[in-house]
Each structure stands twice: as structure tokens, then as C-alpha cells.
A and B are shown apart, each in its own frame.
Chain A
């Protein structure tokens, strides 16, 4: 948290065309995220959490202001540069897992490495290591349809982490999971955050997730309502993972 900022959001506003008018999803946001943070964007539906994650992930562009991710201004990147940024430096975890159904667990995790053009041996090693992190090495040959929701989300975490990105963006990762699975996957991510010093940014309104966060940014109506650091003693961070 005290490390240098790897994401800077400066006076960011995002508007969407809705029918004849505009809908402002984010208003004049100013934020910074350091390396190794475990941060949550918290707020009700429509507060702008996902929109902010999408902009940080260079899936969308700000209407005004700047989002600087790992030194790159998102709005100034070409499609190709955005793709490279996402491929090498950003991992995504989605609420609905977004696993490729015709691929095996191994293939799903391997996908990003294929784009990075690793050799077969490297890929094999990295994928199995990532599946080990999430405890699914024995399911490498299974198809997503054969897995439970919790297992699918763990595959999704492995897919995001296999390329060792600097940033992982998780959009409501526990929304489709029961309590036990929610704790399990958040603990897995917390462990990876500690071991690999990866920055995790969540969009969530799940209180179970909030228990593990080091920093909580409250968004409301597209504005930062509160940006609070959670003392270590109050988080589950101190729990042995």
C-alpha cells in the first residue's frame, strides 16, 4: 500500500449515451492504487464500480480525465496496445467466471500464455503451478461444465494469475457463490496477493469480501464517497491463510 502508485485516476468522468440524453457513471474521480494493494470498490448497483474497473482494465475509455495504468494513459492506447496491456499486465476475474466452455480447465488457464507465445514446456509448468495455487491441479482435464461454481471461480483466478500480472481486477467474484466458497476464493486471492505482491481491485458489495480488504473505496452515484484504509487488526488479513 505504501509502494509507488501503479494506477492513477485523475479527474475521471465517464458518460454513456442513453437514448436522447447522457448517463454519468463516474464523476470527477481521483484515486491512486499502489503495488500490492487489496482494495475494494464498494457501493450499490449503478454506483460506477464496474465502469471504473473496465477503464482501469482498458476495456473502456474515460470521457474526461485520465486513467494511467502502469504508466500508460488508457485513452491514448491503441487497440493493440490495450490488448498487450491486458494480456501481460492485467488479470480479470468475472462474476460469471467467463470460462470458455469448450476448453478444458487446463486450456482455459493456458489461453493467456498462448497469446504471450510461451513454449509448450513453459506453459505446462506455469498452468500446473497456477492450478496448484487454487487447488485444482487434479481437475486440469475437466470441462467447466463438470465443475462447481466455486471451482469455476478458482479456475478463473488461476487464469488471471497464471501470467503473473501486476494487477487483477475482480468484478463481483463472489456474487454467484455460497458463503463457504466465497471465503475460500477470497482467501486464495489474498494468499496470492501476499505471495506475489499482486494488486487486487474488487468491485463488490459482498460483506464477506470486505472482511479481507485492506482498503475500501465507497462509491455512490459515480462519486467517491469515502476512501478508507482498514487497519490490519480489523481485517482477516492477519488470519493465517
Chain B
């Protein structure tokens, strides 16, 4: 307690030098919290959007299905029967049939995934209700990115060619009945949704599906003939991308933190050098060397506590503002290939705040301690004279 009291007095007494160090460190502190908050916010929004639009509460895959291998699609389908059929009826599972196809918008050739989805489903956010067939047309639903890349708009007709269960090519025109907007590019880019029953009929795969999407209320259960993939598995790519982003941003804020810590280190080295007489006086007045080392270390590390207070003064209002209005993402973010909202709302978790505080305080304490080790080698008589040691 004494060391804190004395250190605080010394720090405040040091004036401008203290406040310069504290300002730099507080900036590093706010940037670290902001960056982490932004990535956590993006992570949360991205995960929640991906779950809502694509993965649901996990998926049951046909054993041959591999989302990265289009060749597997030809055989990755099976009739939905038994327990699976029962759960589909109870709206606990959403069957989707997926097949490769080629679309010919305005005579161009475009490889697409043709996905059969129940127009009445409520498990995913895909607005499939617009897929109810009318006037004998095959209704198709596409995303905004797909519409832009294929130059398609609502009401357009586009020729689609696919292979049926026997490998025979067939082609028909579908009509774009709606264009949806989603933050999840994997449900949009090169994806064409048509009613499940129509796709089953077109491919000759009556009552068949490639995968079954679980509803939020369905707890994972074994279904014979299907392999369950949980959200952890399904979001692996997204998690890896976030971790890679975190790694990149870590370099930036560690550089910033290093600069701030260097300033503290420099101050400490200078303090021990310039305040030898003071150190000698402390010892003459009855402090042990260890107490003096502790005093100087606490003094250095208190920069981080002052930085925390200063950072909170301008950081909290700033972050509350950002949290309210979000950070707008550029239009080009749509093409990034990852789930990203128009605005990212940072999320500041208690764990992130505590770990950031610990990171700053501990690293400031370490860099404060090292220069003070010299004190233990000082002769008090020389220190009192302020002799260079």
C-alpha cells in the first residue's frame, strides 16, 4: 500500500512525462479493446447470420456428401425415411436436395448449385415462401450477389441445365421470383433455390435429400443413414478466418503496445539513472533495496492503471457511440466471400476486457521491473552522491 501511495505521488509529481506515457498507453489500450471488440462483434454477427441462413442448428449429411467436392454430389442423396421423415414432418428438420447445374443468363454460361428447398420452411432465413409455384413456371430464388454477377433481376427467365439421377441432361427455364439479400455469401454466390418437390421431380429423386438442416429446437440425435455435423464443424471456415484476422490485428496492436511499453521502459531507465540521489535517500531513510525496487516497479506499472482511467474517459463514450451506430462496412465487403454485415457492432465481452487489462498491466509491470534491477547493485553511498553507476 505504501509503495502505491508513494508511487502515485511520484508519478503525478513527474508531470508531463507521466502524462505523455499514459496517453500513449491509453491509446494502445483503447485500440486493443476496439479491435478485439470489432472482431468479436463481427464474429458474433457472422456466426449468428450463418446459423440463421445456412447451417441451422447443425446438419445431417448424406454420408457421401462433401461440401468441398462437387463430384460427391452425384451420389450424395438418399430418401428421407423413418425418424428423419418424422422430424421433417414436425418441422424439426429441413431437407435440401443439392445438384450441380449450369445456368445460361443472357446466353452466358454459369456453374451453379441448384438447391431444392421447401417453400413453407421456417428453419432458415432464406425467404423461400416466394417459391410457391404459379402459372406452371418453375420459381427460382437467388441472392443479390448472384443477381449482380448474372445480371438477373426479378421476373427474368433463365435457362437451367442439370443431370437427373440417371445422368441424363435436361434443361428448363426458371423464373426469378425474388432476390434476397443476405450477409452470408455462401448462401448467395452461384446458388439457385427452387421448390424441393420440383427439383426432386426434375432429377428423379423423389423424396430424396442431400442434407437435412436441424431446427434450433432440435437437440442433436443420431439418425440412421445420416451423419450429423454440428455448428462448430460447419462454422470452422468462418472461425479460421476470424482467427486469421485476429492474428493480423494482434500484430498491429502489439506494435502499438510495444511503442507504449518502450516509452515506459525508457522512463524507468532514465528514472533509475537520474534519481540515484533519491534512491540513496530512500535507503538512508530506512527503505530496503527491495522496497525501493518495488516502489519504482509499482510506479512504472501505475502508468498502466492511469492509462486505464484515461482510456476509459475517452474510450467508453467513443465505444458506446460506435456500439449504438455500428461501423459501416464498405460495399466491396460484399465480395469478401465471408459473412459480413453492412454495419458491424463491436462486442466487448468481460473476458476480453479483463484479458486486455491484464495484458497491459502485466506487460507494463514487466518492463517497469527490468530497469529497476540495477537498484539492487547500487551502493547507497554512491547513490546518495548521485554518482553514475
Q: Does A133 contact B (CB under 8 A)?
A: no
Residue of B13, B287, B289 near A115 (CB, 8 A) is B287
Bound form: Cα–Cα A83–B281 in Å: 12
Residues of B within 8 A of A48 (CB): none
Among A85-93, A176-184, A196-204, A230-238, the stretch that binds chain B is A85-93
Q: Which residue of A lies closest to B286 (CB)?
A: A87
Contact A114 B2 (CB under 8 A): yes
* Residue B10 is within 8 A (CB to CB) of chain A in the complex: yes
Chain A residues, Cβ within 8 Å of B381: 51, 54, 59-60
Does A107 contact B379, Cβ atoms closer than 8 Å? no
In the complex the two chains form, what is the Cα distance from A112 to B287 in whole Å?
9
Q: Are A83 and B283 in contact (CB under 8 A)?
A: yes
B300 on the interface (CB 8 Å rule)? no
Residue from B9, B283, B289, B290 within 8 A of A102 (CB atoms): B9
The reply to whether B13 and A92 contact each other, CB–CB distance below 8 Å, is no
In the complex the two chains form, what is the Cα distance from A39 to B85 in whole Å? 107
Q: Contact at B281–A102, with CB atoms within 8 Å? A: no
| Contact A86:B13 (CB < 8 A) given known A54-B381, A60-B379, A115-B2 | no
- Residues 267-310 of B, flagged 1 when their CB comes within 8 A of A and 0 if not, give 00000000001101101111111110000000000000000000
Asked if A100 and B2 make an inter-chain contact with CB atoms under 8 angstroms apart, the answer reads: no
Answer whether residue B380 sits at the interface, using C-beta atoms and an 8 A cutoff: yes
| Contact indicator A86/B384 (Cβ below 8 Å) | no
A-B contact pairs, 27 of them (CB 8 A): A59-B283, A59-B380, A59-B381, A60-B379, A60-B380, A79-B290, A80-B288, A83-B286, A86-B284, A87-B285, A87-B286, A88-B286, A92-B284, A92-B285, A94-B281, A94-B384, A98-B277, A100-B281, A101-B13, A102-B9, A102-B10, A102-B12, A102-B14, A111-B285, A115-B285, A116-B286, A159-B285
- Please tell me which one of the listed residues B9, B280, B288, B289 contacts residue A103 in the complex, with CB atoms under 8 A apart: B9
A59 touches B278 (CB 8 A): no
Q: How far is the CA of A57 from the CA of B286 in the complex (A)?
A: 10
Q: Given known contacts A107-B9, A111-B285, A112-B286, what 13 new A-B pairs fall within 8 Å (CB)?
A: A54-B381, A57-B284, A59-B381, A59-B384, A83-B288, A92-B285, A94-B284, A96-B277, A98-B284, A103-B9, A114-B2, A114-B6, A159-B285
Q: A79-B289, A98-B277, A115-B2 are in contact. Are A59 and B284 (CB under 8 A)?
A: yes
CA distance A77 to B75 in the complex (A): 87
CB-contacts of A49-73 with B (<8 A):
51, 54, 57, 59-60
- Size band of the B side of the interface? 20 to 34
Set of chain B residues within 8 Å of A107, measured between Cβ atoms: 9
Chain A residues positioned under 8 Å from B13 (CB to CB): 101-103
Residues of A within 8 A of B380 (CB): 59-60
Determine how close the nearest CB of chain B comes to the CB of A98; give it in whole angstroms: 4
Q: How far is the CB of A18 from chain B (nearest CB, A)?
A: 13
1/0 contact trace for A188-230 toward B, CB 8 Å? 0000000000000000000000000000000000000000000
The residues in A between 9 and 54 inclusive whose CB is less than 8 angstroms from any CB of B are 51, 54
List the interface of chain A (C-beta within 8 A of B): 51, 54, 57, 59-60, 79-80, 83-84, 86-88, 92, 94, 96, 98, 100-103, 107, 111-112, 114-116, 159
Which chain B residues border A102 with CB–CB below 8 Å?
9-10, 12-14
Q: B residues within 8 Å of A by Cβ?
A: 2, 5-6, 9-10, 12-14, 277-278, 280-281, 283-291, 379-381, 384
Number of A-B contacts (CB under 8 A): 64
- Nearest residue (CB) in B for A84 is B286
A84 to B291, CA, bound (A): 12
10 interchain residue pairs of minimum CB distance? A102-B13, A87-B286, A98-B281, A83-B288, A59-B380, A92-B284, A86-B286, A54-B381, A115-B286, A60-B381
Contact A86 B285 (CB under 8 A): yes
Q: List B contacts of A111 (CB < 8 A).
A: 285
B46: shortest Cβ distance to chain A, in Å?
Answer: 51
Residue of A54, A88, A100, A116 most packed against chain B (CB within 10 A): A100
In the complex, the answer to whether A98 meets B283 with C-beta atoms within 8 Å is no
A120 to chain B, nearest CB (A): 12
Cα A52 to Cα B14 in complex, Å, equals 35
Centre residue among B280, B283, B286, B381 by max chain A CB count within 10 A: B286
Q: Whole-angstrom distance from the CB of A118 to the nearest CB of chain B?
A: 12
Which residue of B is nearest A88, CB measured?
A: B286
Which residues of A lie under 8 Å from residue B6 when comparing CB positions? 114
- Assess whether B10 is in contact with A98, with CB atoms less than 8 Å apart: no
How far is the CB of B26 from the nearest CB of chain A, in Å?
A: 22
Give bound CA distance, A60 to B379, whole Å.
Answer: 8
Interchain CA distance A57-B280 in the complex, whole Å = 12
Q: Determine the distance from Cα of A188 to Cα of B272 in the docked complex, in whole angstroms.
A: 34
CA distance A169 to B164 in the complex (A): 105
- Least CB distance from A103 to B in Å reads 6
